[in-house]
Structures are given as C-alpha cells and as structure tokens.
Amino acid sequence: MDQISGLSSMATRPILADLSEHLRLAHGLPVRFESAGGVEVARRVREGAAADLLVLAEGALAALARTGHVLGGTVRPLWVSQVVAAVPEGAPVPALDSESDLRAALLSARGIAYSTGPSGTALVELIGRLGLADRLADRLVQAPPGVPAGTLLASGRAGLAFQQRSELAGLPGVLVVGPLPGDAAIDSVFAGGVLAASARPGRAGEVLDLLGSGPASEIALAGGMRAVGPRG
C-alpha cells in the first residue's frame, strides 16, 4: 500500500508522529508527516509541494483552501492547543493566576521569546491589548521559523517564552509554567485538509477522518491538545 504523505507545522509534529504510528498499527495505513515552520510549509504548498495531507493553524490552512491549494470540502478543525508560558530551568517561577500577574511577569522579563506562528501573532496582539506594546517593544525576541521559542530561554536571549505547549514541553533547560490566565488565555486551532496536489485524495480523506476520530483525539490529548468540540 502506498504511503500517504503529509506536511505540518512544528506544533503538531509530536502528536502526528504518535498518530502515524497508531494508524500503522491499528489500521495498516502507512502515513508519514514532514514538519517545518508554518510559514515555510505554506510556502512549499503554494509552490506545489508533492504531498497528500496538510495540518496547519486553522487560518493558514483556510487561506490555502481559498487559493485552491487545499480541497475546500475536506477542511476540518482537529485540535485546540493552549499557549503556555515558560522560563529557563532554575529561574524564579512567576505567578500567572491573574492578568496582573501576567503583566508583572512581562514587565520583569529581560527578553520575551515568541514564535512566527499563530501563538506569536496572538501574543503580540495581547501585549497591545494590555497597553504594554511600547514598553516591551525592545524586549520582544522572535524565534526563527520552525525553531521553538524555548531555545531562546536555554541560550539566555530571553527570560520568558510563549508558545504551544507541545513545542515547549521537554525542551532541555526549559520549564513550562502554565497557560495564561482568564481572558488573556490564547488558544490555537489546528486543522487538516487534503492537498489539491494529492494523487490519492480519497485515501488521504480517509486518513484525515481517522485523525479526527475518538481514538486519535485521546492520543492528541496525551500530547497536550484537545479535540475541537461542536461549533455554532
């Protein structure tokens, strides 16, 4: 049986690795995902990358569906991922119980690391809503595409980082503090779709259905993402 190939952003890489193994063992389906920074993946898709499936942040995937690179009828939201804060291992752990705590943590950080993905965009918008954009402008440090923001903690370039839990958990020298409080919480939705370039759209659609199934949702939850609930 031919292998179904997929592209994804880095945030879902560990979950998709586990899910690919599950599909192989439980359904006899050979599936392999290649992961890179979301901006890079979108560029590759626009340039005609040969793959069957795409898993990206919902907005980025929807944009590719609008331009015909993803088959619109196949797009489905899969998982919700919380953005969490992290500090260098051994550093004081800031409280994050309230918006006041978050403001204090931001203002006391020598550098604030964030990503090029949706979590980074949302963080910059949050800092603006908190009225801290001018005060923190020279302390914001954006990680290169595909590089976890937590690596800037380990290298000493930042004292606080924000990104999807799946990209920060387990990094050496990094301690995950937890999600942002109350109305400051940031959730990112990741969605899947069949690429227009797929030579096996039917089978790719079957794999996508399995990625959104109950057993797959349990595997995703163990990796730090919850299934998208009913909408509307």
The pLDDT tens digits for 123-134 are: 999 999 999 999
pLDDT at 72: 87
**How far apart are the C-alpha atoms of 122 and 119, rounded to whole Å?**
5
**How far apart are the C-alpha atoms of 15 and 12, rounded to whole Å?**
5
In this predicted model, what pLDDT tens digit does every residue of 168-221 receive, in sequence order?
888 899 999 999 999 999 998 999 999 999 999 999 999 999 999 999 999 999
On whether the CB atoms of residues 35 and 43 are closer than 8 A, the answer is: no
pLDDT at 217: 93
pLDDT at 230: 60
Specify the higher pLDDT residue, 67 or 147. Answer: 67
**What does DSSP assign to residue 5?**
E
Where does the pLDDT of residue 118 fall: very low under 50, low under 70, confident under 90, or very high at 90 and above?
Answer: confident
- Continuous H helices in the chain: 13-27, 38-46, 58-66, 99-108, 118-129, 133-136, 151-154, 165-168, 201-211, 214-222
pLDDT at 119: 87
Domain boundaries, given as residue ranges, for the chain: 4-79+189-227, 81-184
Where does the pLDDT of residue 112 fall: very low under 50, low under 70, confident under 90, or very high at 90 and above?
Answer: very high
What integer is the mean pLDDT of 100-122?
A: 93
Q: Amino acid identity of 52?
A: D
pLDDT at 231: 54
pLDDT at 69: 97
Q: How far is CA 186 from CA 74, 135, 154, 183, 202, in A?
A: 26, 21, 23, 8, 34
What crossing angle do the helices spanning 13-27 and 214-222 adopt, rounded to 10°? 140
Residues contacting residue 218 through CB under 8 Å, at least 6 positions apart: none
Q: For the domain made up of 81-184, give the CATH fold.
A: D-Maltodextrin-Binding Protein; domain 2 (3.40.190)
Residue 13: CB atoms within 10 A of its CB come to: 18
Where does the pLDDT of residue 1 fall: very low under 50, low under 70, confident under 90, or very high at 90 and above?
Answer: low
In this predicted model, what pLDDT tens digit does every residue of 4-23 receive, in sequence order?
999 999 889 999 999 999 99
pLDDT at 232: 46
pTM: 0.84
CATH code for the domain defined by 4-79+189-227: 3.40.190.10
Residue-by-residue DSSP string for 86-148:
EEETTSPPPP-SSHHHHHHHHHH-S-EEE-SSHHHHHHHHHHHHTT-HHHHGGGEEEPPTTS-
**How far apart are the C-alpha atoms of 18 and 67, rounded to whole Å?**
31
On whether the CB atoms of residues 191 and 56 are closer than 8 A, the answer is: yes
Q: How far is CA 50 from CA 4, 6, 34, 56, in A?
A: 11, 9, 11, 16
Phi, psi of 6, deg, nearest 5: -135, 160
In this predicted model, what pLDDT tens digit does every residue of 49-108 receive, in sequence order?
999 999 999 999 999 999 999 998 999 999 999 999 999 999 999 999 999 999 999 999
pLDDT at 56: 96
Residue 152: CB atoms within 10 A of its CB come to: 24
